[in-house]
Structure formats: structure tokens, C-alpha cells
Structure 1
Amino acid sequence: MNQLIACEAKLTVREPVGLAFSLVLPLVIILAFGLSASASEPDEELGGVIALDTLLPSIGLALSFGMVAIFMLPGFMTDYRARGILRRLSTTPVHPAKLLAAQVIVQGAIALISVPLVLGLAVALGMSFPEQPLMVVVVVLLGGAALFAVGTLVSAVAPDAKIGYVYSAMFFFPSLFFAGVWLPKEQMPDWLSTIGDFTPLGAFRESLENAFTGTSQDPLMLLTLAVTAVAAGTVAARVFRWE
């Protein structure tokens, strides 16, 4: 298993575009907006919160985890299916399930690497240290589980990489809107903001923001992440095909 993980890690590193979008793009966004003086001051349009303490780091982590889980993981697995690699592995001691597990481990490690990078840059720009660091860990793990379960579901139903990217985009880009990336949730109508709270990416970002500021967590948003992880993971396990 260790050799398989090492092999998948090498293949992943050879895809610099995916790594750049997943790890570098969120940092660029934080740097671009975080250098503004207004990012360190209470913003009335954001409900009086400081963007550098709340919105920017939570958006950075949501982007990183979302792109890795919903684009990179399905991209590799659907490509393997289309090329017949999974079918051939099913006749060897290296069962395809081990390949899926190795991919989840590798991509999950990449997503976790984004946490110190994003928070480190934000703190360097003036972000206050998270009020609830342990809750940040809990939300990262729970939200990561939910998003990777969705990515596994895309991997299960897409016959090849091209269609997989279409499915990923259909889920990811609307999720960015509901999570408040395109338009701050404070500027949305209440009913639209509420919908966003119960989408996986929206619940992930909002729960992170609450942990950063020490605000009480909304149990329903945490439940949304847990239910998504279990439901999407269960469906993916039932419909996943190796060829």
C-alpha cells in the first residue's frame, strides 16, 4: 500500500496545473485582497466583520479543499477508468479499491497542506489567530470528509475524465456562489443565504469562519457536513464501477 501511495503521489506531482490551482490560487487571492488596508478593518458590507479574520481565510480553504476533492480526485480516477487501468487492476492482487484509497490519501494530504499555507499567509498579513483552533481542526476534518465523499461520488458516476470535469464543475461553481465566494453572504437575501448554509461548501466555509471568530457553531451546518459525508460516501460505494 505504501508503494501505491508513493506512486500516486509522484503522478500527482507531475500535474503542476492542478497543484497550482489547488494550493497557489487561494494564496494569490488572499494576498491580492489581504494587502488592502480595508481588509484589516471592520466592513459594514460584511456585517461589521474584518475580512482578513473571517472571509478571506475561509474562502481560501474552501477553494483548496473544493478543487482537490471535487476536481483532482475525480480527474485521476475517471482517467484510470477510461484507460482500463481499473479493470486490469481488478485481476491483480492490487485491487482497484486500494488505488482509490491511495488517491484519497494523497489528495487529502494535499488539501491538508493548504491549511498551514492559507492560515500562515493570512496571519502574516495581520489576521488574528483563530479563537477556536481545535474547532478549526474539527471543521477541516469534517468538511474535508464531506467534500471528498462528493468527489468520490463524481468518480463513481463519470465514465471518463472529460465528463467527470463537467460533473465537477456543475457542482463546484454553483457551490462557490452559495458559499459566498462570488457575493458575500451578508449581501444576499436571507433565504438565499440560508440555502448556502446547507450546501457542503457553504457549511464548510461558514463553520470555519465561526471557528476563526469564536462564534458558536450552528449544529445544523455541522450536521450538513456529516450527512453529506455519510450519504455521498454510501451512494458512491454502491454505484462505483471499476470499468
Structure 2
Amino acid sequence: MSPRRTLATTGRVLTQIRHDPRTIGLLLVVPTLLIGLVAWIFVDTDTFARIGPAMLALFPFTIMFVVTSIATLRERRTGTLERLLSMPLGKGDFILGYTLAFGLLAIVQASIAVGFAIWVCGLDIKGSVWLLFAVALMDAILGTTLGLFASAFARTEFQVVQFLPAFVFPQILLGGIFLPREHLPDVLQTIGDWLPLSHAIDALDAVATNSEDAAYVGGELLIIAAFAIGAVVLGSITLRRRTP
């Protein structure tokens, strides 16, 4: 891999997105609107105070997964990836360039979502706001890397959407959003404990309630980062030049 080629890929992706206002809106505005909708639904209860941190994990993760996987698949379907890889661009440069591009967008996305949840929706954060932002950012990057990995197995945009039940929905159901994982059957609890989104939800809840120290949150961040790095490596290995 070459830093110059990786950064060139990052710049190309960011330029493409800059000329696509719908994608910008989906990445930066939709997660915030969904968080606001949840807060509005539970405005007269304390439910949002309980599930708000999980929403900061759920919506950015899901949207980054969908957008990244479709964008990568489109590169294959149009033959762009095949042309790029015929040049001195490696698969690792391509995957890492995409990760960096969407990682930069994730910084903006996490900033908007966290700020909106706290200062507009009134989400009470007892721990460090900066630590909350760090977890939300890593969660969005995780969605990006898993989207890059999942795109290798899809041939159409419709198939990408079909991957949501396989990659995302189990993490939502078993991540502790609807029911604490310790209340799940033992087998489901064990599965949930091994899912990456569960660690993001746990870390955000720990920061919001200040129930754990920074070392615990740091450990969860390392686990999330390990999943993201693993997805980047697997994505590089499984990436195909072109969709048949």
C-alpha cells in the first residue's frame, strides 16, 4: 500500500460525495432527524434518557453501513474499480482510502448527532461529552468498515439492502436496546456479547450514566477498533474487481 495512492482515493471519494447532496443529507442529516424523532416520541417519559445513547450507536452505524456498501458496489458495477486496479492502486489502498473518506464524514456526522442529542433533545450525559463523541465516531467508522466488507458479497444494490437482516438486525435485537442482554436467554446473551454493535452500545451507556471508568470505555473502544480493522483486512482480501 502507498499513502499517496490511499489519500488520492480518499480525495476522489470525497469529491464524488461533495457533488451528491442526497448522500450528504443521508449521512449527516438523517441520523439526527431519527434521533430527534425518537426523542419526540418519548417526550413525556424518561425512555429517551435510557435509550438515547443506544440511538447514537444505532442510526449512524446503520446508515454508514448502507451508504458505504452501495458506494463500493457501484464502483465495481460501473467498472471503475477494475480500471483503478489496473493502475498501481492496490485493493488495500482502495479499501483504506474509502475508510478514511467516510471516516472524515463520520467525524462530522458524530459531531452533529451528539450535539443535537444533548443540546436540542436534552439527552442527559453524566460522563465526558468528548468520550461520548469518541465512541459515537468509532461506531460510525465500524459501520463504514462492515459496509465495505459486506459489499464484496453483493451483486446489486438490492442485495446490499438484503444484507441488513444478516449484518445489522441481529446486532440491533441482541445489542441490549430493547432488553438488557443479561435478561436474554444464555445462548442469545453469548451471541450478543460477541457482536460489535453491543460494545458500542455498552460504551455509550457507560459514558451517559457515568457507571464505568474511562478504562472500561477505552477497552470497549479497542474492541470496536479491532472489529473495524478486521473488517478492513477482510474487505481487502475479498474485494472483487468487477461484479459479473
TM-score w.r.t. length of structure 2: 0.75
* Cα deviations by residue, 1:36-83 (Å, 9 ceiling, x for unpaired): 4434x4x5xxxxxxx33x422431343113321x21111111111122
CA displacement at 1:25 relative to structure 2: 3.0
CA displacement at 1:138 relative to structure 2: 4.5
Change (3 A) 1:14 1:4: same
Does the alignment pair 1:239 with 2:238?
yes
* Cα deviations by residue, 1:137-177 (Å, 9 ceiling, x for unpaired): 55345434543332221133334433333224531233222
The match for 1:213 among 202, 209, 215 is 209
Letter in 1 for 2:87: T
Does the alignment pair 1:25 with 2:21?
no
Instruction: Tell me if structure 2 keeps the 8 A contact 1:72–1:107.
Output: no
Matches within 5 A, 1:110-121: 110-121=105-116
CA distance, structure 2, for counterparts of residue 172 and residue 95 of structure 1: 29
Change (3 A) 1:156 1:195: same
Letter in 2 for 1:11: Q
Instruction: Tell me if structure 1 keeps the 8 A contact 2:96–2:232.
Output: no
Match of 1:38 in 2: 44
Match of 1:178 in 2: 174
Instruction: Tell me if structure 1 keeps the 8 A contact 2:56–2:136.
Output: no
CA distance, structure 2, for counterparts of residue 25 and residue 185 of structure 1: 27
Change (3 A) 1:101 1:225: closer
The match for 2:58 among 37, 51, 62 is 62
Change (3 A) 1:60 1:230: closer
After TM superposition, the structure 1 stretch with the greater mean CA deviation from structure 2, 77-86 or 187-196, is 187-196
Matches within 5 A, 1:88-167: 88-93=83-88, 97-124=92-119, 125-140=121-136, 142-167=138-163
CA distance, structure 2, for counterparts of residue 120 and residue 212 of structure 1: 14
Instruction: Tell me if structure 1 keeps the 8 A contact 2:62–2:143.
Output: yes
Change (3 A) 1:72 1:212: same
CA distance, structure 1, for counterparts of residue 172 and residue 116 of structure 2: 22
Instruction: Tell me if structure 2 keeps the 8 A contact 1:179–1:201.
Output: yes
Identity level (%)? 19
TM-score w.r.t. length of structure 1: 0.75
Change (3 A) 1:235 1:101: closer
CA distance, structure 1, for counterparts of residue 173 and residue 67 of structure 2: 20
Letter in 2 for 1:209: D
Letter in 1 for 2:110: V
Q: CA RMSD in A?
A: 3.2
The match for 1:84 among 79, 86, 89 is 79
Instruction: Tell me if structure 2 keeps the 8 A contact 1:29–1:60.
Output: no
List alignment gaps of at least 5 residues for structure 1. Answer: 44-50
CA distance, structure 1, for counterparts of residue 94 and residue 210 of structure 2: 39
Change (3 A) 1:177 1:169: same
Change (3 A) 1:193 1:13: farther
The match for 1:72 among 67, 72, 77 is 67
Equivalent pairs, count: 231
* Cα deviations by residue, 1:110-149 (Å, 9 ceiling, x for unpaired): 2221222122222223223451345335534543454333
CA distance, structure 1, for counterparts of residue 72 and residue 115 of structure 2: 32
